[in-house]
Structure 1
C-alpha cells in the first residue's frame, strides 16, 4: 500500500514511527510504503529529519488517485479542512491501527481514523471518521464517538459514553459511565466528566487545591 502523509509536523513524525514499527513486527500485515509527505512549511520537514521526501505543499498538491492518503495533522481545524478539501478532489484516506492496540471483535472504526499504540477499544465501541485516538486511550464497552475527535494520551471513557463531533479531550481526561458529550467542546487535561456536556463548551477546573503534608 503506497501512502502519502498529509502534514510533516509532530503527529506526522509519530505516524512514520508507528508505520516503521508495524512493517517490522507484522509481516502478515499489508506493508505500508511511505512515498513522502506534504506540508506548507518546509521547516516542519527539516525539524523532524524525515527519511522521506517533502513532495510539495498541501495547498498546491495535485491528488493522485493511484495512492492513498493518511492524515498527519493533529490540529482539528486544519485536519477537517484538508480532509474535506482532499476528499472533494478525489483523495482516498486510509485508517491506521497500531498492532499493539487491543481492539474488540465487535468494535467499529470509521474511515481515516488513527489508533495509536496501546489503545483499548472495548466491545461494541465505535470511532467515527477521521478521529485521532492517541496512545493508551481506553474506550469502554458501548462507547460511541463521532467524527473528527481528538483524544489525547491516557483519555479514558467509561462504558456507554456518547460523544459528538470535533471535540478535543486533554490528556488524562475521563468520563463516568453513561455520559453524553455534544460537539465542538474542549475538555481540558485531567477533567473527569460527571455530568453531560452540550455543544461549544470549555470544561476545566475553576479552582485547584494543593495539599502539602508535613511530617514532624
Structure 2
C-alpha cells in the first residue's frame, strides 16, 4: 500500500501518554518496533505509563531529534496537529503506524503520521491525510477522502466516495452515507447517521444527523 515513506530510527517515542498514546504504543510493539518511551508536556518526567517511561516533553525531543522517530499518540485533533508541526519545525516527519490486523488496500494512499488501529479497513483508492486517526474497527470505503488530522472513532463508517474535512471528528459508530461531504473542524456525534452534506465547524447529532450548534472559528 502507498504509505508516506519515513525513515524509522531504531528508537521510537510516542508523543502523548494518555489512553490514546497507550494504544499507539501497543500498535508499535505489535509491529515489532522498539518503543523508548513517551513524551508529554504535561506529565511528570520519570513516571511510567504502560510500563514505559515518560522521557520529557518538547525540549527532550529538540535535544534528541537525531536519535529517535516519533509517533503521534494524541487523540485530540488540534493538539495532534500542533505536535506534528513541532516535528516539522525540528526537521522530523512523524511515522505512520498500521496495526497488523488492519486491512489497507494496495491502491489506498495514507499520509505521514497516520495511525490505523486494530481491525480497521481502508478500501481501494481511499486517501487519508497526514496525522489522521482511523480508530479500532473503523471503515473507510472506496474513493473516500479523509482530511489531515481528522479522527474516525471506533466503528465509525464512511460509505463510498465520502469527503471528510481536516480536523473533523466522527464519534463512536457514527456513519456517513455514500457521496456525502462533512466540512472541516466539524464534530459528528456518536451513533449519528449523516444523510446530507454537513457544513464546516458545526456539531451534528442524531439519525438523521442534524446541526445542533455552530463551533467558534479559531
Please name the residue that 2:56 is paired with.
56
Separation (CA, whole Å) in 1 of partners of 2:46 and 2:149: 24
CA contact (8 A) 1:103 1:120 kept: yes
Which of 13, 17, 33 is equivalent to 2:22? 13
Q: CA RMSD in A?
A: 2.0
For 2:190 and 2:179, how far apart are their aligned partners in 1? 20
Richer in strand (by share): 2
Match of residue 175 from structure 2:
174
Are the counterparts in 1 of residues 173 and 190 from structure 2 also a CA contact under 8 Å?
A: yes
Does structure 2 retain, via aligned residues, the 8 Å contact 1:65–1:92?
no
Structure-1 separation of matches of 2:175 and 2:207: 17
TM-score computed with the length of structure 1 as normaliser: 0.85
Residue of structure 1 equivalent to 2:141: 140
Q: Secondary structure at the match of 2:95?
A: coil
Q: Alignment length, in residue pairs?
A: 198
Measured after TM superposition, the shift of residue 150 of structure 1 is 0.9
Greater CA drift, 185-194 or 74-83: 74-83
Structure 2: distance between partners of 1:125 and 1:100: 18
Unaligned runs of 5+ in 2: 1-9, 209-218
Please report how far the alpha carbon of residue 83 of structure 1 lies from its aligned counterpart in structure 2 after TM superposition: 1.4
Structure 1 segment 1-216 matched on structure 2, within 5 A: 1-23=10-32, 32-42=33-43, 46=47, 49-58=49-58, 61-63=61-63, 64-205=65-206
